[in-house]
């Protein structure tokens, strides 16, 4: 309650941001740069996905088919496409550059529904893969003032 002696208190700031974001549970985007972010503004992810090229038809190039062998609880419907994402960027992945640990997953015909996944160092690689299994990032809605 506020009165003339006690002005209304503003809500405390939420870390890392009051905007909506995806939290990759402390796993940084690029392990070669430990100070890189472990989260993404939701608006940045949506912008990167919206500007991305159509799914590449073959091979290991991005964007590519995502089979979701781990059965992650994704909101996007199959068939799924995944592509690397970079924290703080509005532009899509640049082919030929080394991807980080974070990916956006979406259906190429409905890019409005997006999930974020990341290579989880707490999960061991399976079936001879050199990459850790994926975990789903947590979506954190915008803070309500």
What pLDDT, in 10s, does the model give residues 44-98? Answer: 999 999 999 988 776 668 999 999 988 999 999 999 999 999 988 999 999 888 8
User: For residue 30, with 0-12 CB atoms within 10 Å meaning exposed, 13-18 middle and 19 or more buried, which class applies?
Assistant: middle
Give the pTM. 0.85
Structure tokens at 76: 């996007």
Structure tokens at 44: 């940045």
Structure-token match 């974070």, residue found = 102
Q: What is the pLDDT of residues 32-46, one digit of tens each?
A: 888 889 999 999 999
Structure-token match 């909506």, residue found = 20
Q: How many angstroms separate the CA atoms of 84 and 77, rounded? A: 19
Structural domains of the chain ordered from first start: 21-140 (3.10.450.30)
CB atoms inside a 10 Å sphere around CB 126? 11
């Amino acid at each position: 309650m506020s009165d003339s002696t006690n002005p209304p208190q503003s809500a405390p700031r939420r870390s890392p941001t009051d905007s909506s974001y995806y939290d990759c549970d402390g796993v940084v985007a690029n392990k070669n740069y430990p100070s890189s972010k472990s989260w993404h503004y939701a608006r940045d992810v949506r912008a990167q996905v919206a500007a991305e090229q159509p799914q590449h038809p073959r091979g290991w190039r991005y964007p590519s088919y995502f089979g979701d062998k781990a059965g992650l609880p994704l909101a996007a419907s199959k068939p799924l496409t995944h592509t690397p994402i970079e924290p703080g960027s509005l532009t899509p992945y640049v082919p030929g550059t080394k991807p980080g640990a974070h990916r956006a997953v979406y259906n190429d015909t409905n890019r409005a529904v997006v999930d974020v996944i990341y290579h989880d160092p707490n999960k061991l690689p399976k079936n001879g893969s050199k990459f850790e299994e994926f975990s789903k990032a947590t979506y954190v809605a915008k803070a309500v003032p």
